[in-house]
């Protein structure tokens, strides 16, 4: 009583901590920029060909051209985006967008937009339920008019995407996305999983989130709901890429600093997501680069969360507002267990799992080749896949628990 209450952000040396954080950010950015010309994959040729065919051919031939084996198999809006980028590619280097002479072409001027992936519709049910309950509910006239407006926008989007192809009678070609899963024969041992089965699984996994969005459509929860929806799509979807984990890792970054529990969860999840991409960079000269980037990411997050939750006074109690915020998202125990005088602290489960991640990497990179040579070459990759899957499953359960317990 009579003592002045302090918040977690009122730290005497917070300015120096933020300065250090910015330095780490600049270092990581500079390293990434320097690495631009050092890597080239099949994706470069894939997207170069898509630039070329959308630039050189009429729309009616986009989904049927077979000049390159990398045929266009992404939905219309992505194809339109490729056509837009091809204008600038032609200015930079006309050969990039030449359909035949540009095959397997590469130069210092060549660039790629492989970071853009087709939009996932797995979050559509969350958007629909939230907007219906939050925006359209409340009176017959007001609700119906808003529902009509929202429906008109949805119809306009679909008409813009598929209208030209519907006119050409090519709607199935423009709406289908192929991949290894679609071309594979039935499994020899495991049961064959069809798209309809995974569709049902995704909807069942989404149901608690949809119930919460309908019962209490709070705007501050939408980021968490969308992230959870993308996690469900990643785990139970029929055809996903490794890099699709960005769909839920990036949104969760916006809420990571709200509570220590959020920070611990994001800290673990982002490391797992980055490490799961290691097998995609498999050449020897890329190994120190990817390890360095992950270590810098680790340090950057640790420094940032330490600056956010640092507390010099070990005995200082958390504020009522912070305790309520932690309980709101399912945090267990007091914040003093996570925020100590030595800064950001992760729990025992997280420490054990991250230690196991290091063990997995040491085994796959050094011990397995030493002990087995070329035998069981698939084992290191399978070990990484299974171990990272456990981390993503842990994140999914954590998100589900926090959504169910939210008020």
Per residue in 189-209, pLDDT (tens digit) is 777 888 888 889 999 999 999
Average pLDDT over residues 114-127: 69
Q: Does residue 85 contact residue 128 with C-beta atoms inside 8 Å?
A: no
In a domain, 104, yes or no: no
Q: How many domains does the chain have?
A: 3
Same domain, 163 and 91: no
The conformational region for residue 331 under phi > 0 = left, psi -120 to 50 = alpha, else beta, is beta
Q: Does residue 246 contact residue 231 with C-beta atoms inside 8 Å?
A: no
Q: Which of 69-83, 166-180, 222-236, 326-340 has the lowest mean pLDDT?
A: 326-340
In a domain, 59, yes or no: yes
Q: Which of 3-12, 15-24, 70-79, 224-233 has the lowest mean pLDDT?
A: 3-12
Alpha carbon distance 134, 166 (integer Å): 33
- What integer pLDDT is reported at residue 29 of this predicted model? 79
In a domain, 16, yes or no: no
Same domain, 266 and 303: yes
Average pLDDT over residues 16-21: 66
Cβ neighbourhood burial of 62 (10 Å; 0-12, 13-18, 19+): buried
Q: Does pLDDT of 92 surpass 80?
A: yes
Same domain, 220 and 314: no
Average pLDDT over residues 377-388: 92
Alpha carbon distance 59, 373 (integer Å): 51
More confident residue, 143 or 156: 156
Element containing residue 343 per DSSP (H, E): strand 343-344
Contacts by 276-282, CB closer than 8 A, 24 or more apart: 276/242, 276/245, 276/384, 276/385, 276/388, 276/392, 277/242, 277/243, 278/361, 278/384, 279/381, 279/384, 280/41, 280/242, 281/39
Same domain, 173 and 271: no
Q: Residues 264-322: pLDDT tens digits?
A: 999 999 999 999 999 988 888 889 989 988 998 898 888 888 888 775 334 344 555 54
Same domain, 262 and 301: yes
Find the distance separating the first CA and the last CA of the chain, reported in whole Å: 30
Q: Quick one: what percent of the chain has pLDDT higher than 70?
A: 79
In a domain, 215, yes or no: yes
More confident residue, 162 or 33: 162
Q: Which domain holds residue 220?
A: 120-177+193-240
- What integer pLDDT is reported at residue 377 of this predicted model? 86
Same domain, 265 and 363: yes
Q: Does pLDDT of 400 surpass 60?
A: yes
Beta bridge partners of 344: 339
Nearest of 367, 353, 366 to residue 271 by alpha carbon: 353
Of 240, 258, 273, which one is at a domain's C-terminal end? 240
Same domain, 315 and 249: yes
Alpha carbon distance 120, 117 (integer Å): 9
Q: Does pLDDT of 171 surpass 60?
A: yes
Cβ neighbours of residue 388 closer than 8 Å, sequence gap 6 or more: 272, 275, 276
Same domain, 219 and 280: no
Q: Does residue 199 contact residue 237 with C-beta atoms inside 8 Å?
A: no
In a domain, 388, yes or no: yes
User: Following DSSP, what letter does each residue of 389-406 receive, concatenated?
Assistant: HHHHHHHHHHHHHHHHH-
How many residues are there in the chain? 407
In a domain, 29, yes or no: no
Same domain, 259 and 227: no
In a domain, 26, yes or no: no
Average pLDDT over residues 143-150: 90
In a domain, 291, yes or no: yes
- What integer pLDDT is reported at residue 346 of this predicted model? 87
Longest dimension (CA), the chain: 79
Same domain, 235 and 256: no
Same domain, 161 and 285: no
Same domain, 235 and 276: no
């Amino acid at each position: 009583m009579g003592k002045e209450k302090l918040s977690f952000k009122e730290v005497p040396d917070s300015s120096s901590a933020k300065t250090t954080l910015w330095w780490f950010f600049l270092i990581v950015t500079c390293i990434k920029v320097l690495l631009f010309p050092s890597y080239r994959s099949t994706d470069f040729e894939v997207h170069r060909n898509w630039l070329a065919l959308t630039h050189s051919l009429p729309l009616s031939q986009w989904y049927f051209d077979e000049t390159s084996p990398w045929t266009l198999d992404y939905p219309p809006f992505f194809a339109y985006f490729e056509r837009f980028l091809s204008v600038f590619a032609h200015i930079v280097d006309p050969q990039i967008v030449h359909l035949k002479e540009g095959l397997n072409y590469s130069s210092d001027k060549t660039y790629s937009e492989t970071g853009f992936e087709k939009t996932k519709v797995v979050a559509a049910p969350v958007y629909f339920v939230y907007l219906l309950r939050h925006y359209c509910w409340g009176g017959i006239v007001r609700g119906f008019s808003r529902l009509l407006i929202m429906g008109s926008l949805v119809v306009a989007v679909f008409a813009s995407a598929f209208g030209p192809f519907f006119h050409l009678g090519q709607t199935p070609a423009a709406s289908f996305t192929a991949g290894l899963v679609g071309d594979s024969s039935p499994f020899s041992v495991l049961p064959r999983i069809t798209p309809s089965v995974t569709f049902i699984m995704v909807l069942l996994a989404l149901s608690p989130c949809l119930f919460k969005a309908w019962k209490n459509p709070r705007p501050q929860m939408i980021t968490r709901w969308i992230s959870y929806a993308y996690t469900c799509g990643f785990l139970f979807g029929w055809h996903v890429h490794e890099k699709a984990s960005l769909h839920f890792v990036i949104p969760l970054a916006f809420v990571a600093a709200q509570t220590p529990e959020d920070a611990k969860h994001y800290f673990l999840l982002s490391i797992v997501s980055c490490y799961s991409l290691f097998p995609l960079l498999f050449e020897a000269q890329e190994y120190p680069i990817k390890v360095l980037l992950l270590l810098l990411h680790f340090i950057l997050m640790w420094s940032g969360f330490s600056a956010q939750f640092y507390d010099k006074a070990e005995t200082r109690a958390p504020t009522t507002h912070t305790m309520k915020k932690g309980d709101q998202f399912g945090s267990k125990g007091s914040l003093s267990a996570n925020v100590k005088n030595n800064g950001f602290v992760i729990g025992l489960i997280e420490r054990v799992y991250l230690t196991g991640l290091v063990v997995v990497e040491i085994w796959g990179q050094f011990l397995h080749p030493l002990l087995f040579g070329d035998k069981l070459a698939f084992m290191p990759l399978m070990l990484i896949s299974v171990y990272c899957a456990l981390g993503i499953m842990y994140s999914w359960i954590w998100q589900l628990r926090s959504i169910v317990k939210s008020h």
